[in-house]
A and B are shown apart, each in its own frame.
Chain A
């Protein structure tokens, strides 16, 4: 359902109307605000994660092997938190305040960082940060859905993810800039990180409306309050989407492996290895809005599935005999395109298939499915990698993906016929 521009201050409303030519798609100011909140929060968290290995080894004089042990656990905890965040926000019908809790938890963790000295304290802070991230994602995406026109949901998520990833790119830049001026300026980075997190939380708290989808829907239909119903999370179209996301997730081995293949073949990639993800991120930022728009026009399910062709292209190019420089750049471009075509678009697709009262849980279910299957995929691919060698295993996954894409197209066929609209019933 679409909450029109009522969230905007009246003066801004008319100004926006004047600027907007008829027929041109725009996104609601709430989506932009949520995007800016995510951007500020990502500046905050990515500035810390970018320098964490340096800090732990350089300033604390410790090795960071133990982080590897923790990573698997984080993934699991984050997945559980995500479902919990979606569910609680649906049950309480308070998406804004559940999301607020997640953002606030991350900001509080930053305060902890100012006083943390040992490795254990820092891991605790990082864990709190992850928990907050898990908690806020689904209710925030539900808010984006509730404040967007059903027919431009893909664009809305595109705008949000673009802003979000700009933050993810600016965070490390900010941190490294501080270190360039002050080589031991970690404390300054923690303070800056806290500052951005606080501004983000305040923006969210003051400017984003708490859109209570269930209450509104009930009022509109003059019906008793609808109960949270797990059945709608596991409805037939939703099942198909979850299955599609799961199968494709199992063939998404993670860009780490693609980078490693590039590193092994190319001096260019080896030299810039620690920064390859920045290239992917840049492509994501550039392509998220155009691909979101495209998904509104041709169907979200279609863009989601065909987005995996970008992943396929990256796998193949990584092992293709061509110029190393070209292979590296093309890989990053295709990986970015893959994320741009799948990340926000899947959230839009899940939102479109969920009634308002289970929207948060529906979105969380789809995202968790992707997170878990990708984790399994990375582990399984590691096994292939060590037993068959990197090029061969890469080509095997590429082959499987080539088969899976048409199969998923058939599986999701009913979705293509559906209009891109949020079912408000």
Chain B
């Protein structure tokens, strides 16, 4: 083959490949523009009253204007029209007066931040995250904030993933640091596995919380109870991920690996009774990968991605007595957080 012919072929391949990319890109851009400028596909109301009354605060994933923004619906009418705020978050957790928001700051070099907002949209606090946002929880009285991020850009030329879970005070800003620096006590003895990771904090009171301790190599997970003053994490039981404490403080909803591992893992929501230590799996066929939220003492909420649309999801509800099938509570929603205006209780 002559050199001229070789170069001709290379140029032809490059033109076709890059040309096709450009066409796909322009088409995707146009589609995105159309989608984001289109009116929201769901019924919306004015954002002014979004923080009044008993409500569910969540991330709106309805296509159209307001995609990705913090929204709320009345607790009494979750399927009704939603109020969309001007604050975009990837993950949100709210209490009566404020909310914690984790987001990716888009840019030619994206960064990731957590922000504490008051309900009127004022930034009260910001803190950097070491990677893609995963979970956030704010304690019932709003004094403590936990955030979990997937650490990225960690290791040279490898795709390594680990979590970075931190707790800090909302009022004084005091940072308790990465949970990996705390003392881990497994079955009564201090333990220092190299590959430990923590995620999914749920607060009990001003000093106590539950979380998951996971060993990434073996896939073993523990439910641990954290003591902020003592900086300890003590194992309670095994195979519990992403705990969430019920409003009455008697049960923990979590996801449990019921089959597979690695990329084929299947999580089923389950309930752990703190007093008796019993665990019951709930009647949910799909794999649930979310930190569960409690609607009330009998019902849990979780997000399920829509299989047909990337980036869209619904919030489902499920009774914990297993008496009913799961059902959609809020369409086009993610990261639900139940806020009752009366007490700090959730």
Chain A residues in the interface with B (C-beta under 8 A): 9, 49, 52-54, 57-72, 74-75, 117, 119-120, 122-124, 126, 168, 172-173, 176-188, 191-192, 194-196, 198-199, 202-203, 206-207, 254-256, 259, 263-264, 267, 270-278, 280, 335, 339, 378-380, 382-383, 385-387
- Interfacial residues of chain B within 88-106, with CB under 8 A of chain A in the complex: 90, 104, 106
Contact across chains for B194 and A178 when beta carbons are under 8 A apart = no
Contact across chains for A274 and B13 when beta carbons are under 8 A apart = no
From A68, A172, A176, A180, contact of B216 by CB (8 A): A68
Contact across chains for A198 and B155 when beta carbons are under 8 A apart = no
Contact across chains for A198 and B17 when beta carbons are under 8 A apart = yes
Contact across chains for A199 and B194 when beta carbons are under 8 A apart = no
Contact across chains for A271 and B111 when beta carbons are under 8 A apart = yes
Say whether, besides A191-B21, A203-B10, A255 and B155 are in contact (CB < 8 Å).
yes
- Taken together as a complex, chains A and B put the C-alpha atoms of A126 and B158 apart, in Å, by 12
Contact stretch, chosen from B79-87, B139-147, B160-168, B228-236: B160-168
Across the interface, which residues of A come within 8 angstroms of B158, CB to CB? 71, 74-75
Across the interface, which residues of B come within 8 angstroms of A280, CB to CB? 156
Q: Is B3 an interface residue (CB 8 A)?
A: yes
**Can you report 25 A-B residue pairs in the complex whose CB atoms are below 8 A from each other?**
A53-B161, A58-B311, A59-B311, A61-B305, A65-B150, A65-B161, A65-B216, A72-B217, A117-B307, A172-B109, A173-B109, A176-B106, A176-B109, A179-B110, A195-B21, A199-B13, A202-B14, A206-B9, A255-B156, A271-B128, A274-B131, A275-B109, A280-B156, A382-B195, A385-B194
Q: Is the interface of B mostly helix, strand, loop or mixed?
A: mixed
Say whether, besides A58-B104, A185-B29, A188-B25, A273 and B20 are in contact (CB < 8 Å).
no
Across the interface, which residues of A come within 8 angstroms of B76, CB to CB? none
- Interfacial residues of chain B within 1-30, with CB under 8 A of chain A in the complex: 1, 3, 6, 9-10, 13-14, 17-18, 20-21, 24-25, 28-29
Output the residue of A49, A53, A63, A180 with the most chain B CB within 10 A.
A63
Contact across chains for A63 and B134 when beta carbons are under 8 A apart = yes
Contact across chains for B107 and A9 when beta carbons are under 8 A apart = no
- Taken together as a complex, chains A and B put the C-alpha atoms of A199 and B305 apart, in Å, by 35
Across the interface, which residues of A come within 8 angstroms of B246, CB to CB? none
- Taken together as a complex, chains A and B put the C-alpha atoms of A255 and B176 apart, in Å, by 24
Contact across chains for B305 and A173 when beta carbons are under 8 A apart = no
Rounded to whole Å, the gap between the CB of B308 and the closest CB of chain A is: 10
Contact across chains for B24 and A256 when beta carbons are under 8 A apart = no
Chain B residues in the interface with A (C-beta under 8 A): 1, 3, 6, 9-10, 13-14, 17-18, 20-21, 24-25, 28-29, 32, 90, 104, 106-112, 128, 130-134, 150-163, 177-178, 180, 192-197, 199, 214, 216-217, 219, 261-265, 289-290, 303-305, 307, 310-311, 313, 334
- Taken together as a complex, chains A and B put the C-alpha atoms of A265 and B67 apart, in Å, by 37
Contact across chains for A383 and B192 when beta carbons are under 8 A apart = yes
- Taken together as a complex, chains A and B put the C-alpha atoms of A185 and B25 apart, in Å, by 8
Contact across chains for A176 and B110 when beta carbons are under 8 A apart = yes
Complex A-B, nearest 3 residue pairs according to Cβ-Cβ distance, in ascending order: A382-B194, A61-B305, A195-B17
Say whether, besides A65-B163, A185-B29, A254-B155, A202 and B10 are in contact (CB < 8 Å).
yes
Across the interface, which residues of B come within 8 angstroms of A60, CB to CB? 305, 310
Contact across chains for B132 and A187 when beta carbons are under 8 A apart = no
From B6, B21, B290, B334, contact of A192 by CB (8 A): B21
Residue of B nearest to A130 (CB): B159
Contact across chains for A59 and B217 when beta carbons are under 8 A apart = no
Rounded to whole Å, the gap between the CB of B72 and the closest CB of chain A is: 20
Say whether, besides A273-B128, A386-B194, A66 and B263 are in contact (CB < 8 Å).
yes
Say whether, besides A168-B157, A176-B110, A187 and B219 are in contact (CB < 8 Å).
no
Contact across chains for B159 and A202 when beta carbons are under 8 A apart = no
Contact across chains for B263 and A64 when beta carbons are under 8 A apart = no
Contact across chains for A180 and B132 when beta carbons are under 8 A apart = no
Rounded to whole Å, the gap between the CB of B176 and the closest CB of chain A is: 13
Contact across chains for A263 and B195 when beta carbons are under 8 A apart = no
Contact across chains for A57 and B150 when beta carbons are under 8 A apart = yes
Residue of A nearest to B335 (CB): A61
From A181, A264, A272, contact of B111 by CB (8 A): A272
Rounded to whole Å, the gap between the CB of A134 and the closest CB of chain B is: 13
Rounded to whole Å, the gap between the CB of A36 and the closest CB of chain B is: 11
Contact across chains for B132 and A57 when beta carbons are under 8 A apart = yes
- Taken together as a complex, chains A and B put the C-alpha atoms of A69 and B257 apart, in Å, by 14
- Taken together as a complex, chains A and B put the C-alpha atoms of A54 and B109 apart, in Å, by 13
Rounded to whole Å, the gap between the CB of B84 and the closest CB of chain A is: 17
- Taken together as a complex, chains A and B put the C-alpha atoms of A184 and B25 apart, in Å, by 11
Contact across chains for B24 and A61 when beta carbons are under 8 A apart = no
Contact across chains for B130 and A270 when beta carbons are under 8 A apart = yes
Contact across chains for A181 and B199 when beta carbons are under 8 A apart = no
Rounded to whole Å, the gap between the CB of B328 and the closest CB of chain A is: 15
From B130, B193, B219, contact of A274 by CB (8 A): B130
Residue of A nearest to B191 (CB): A386
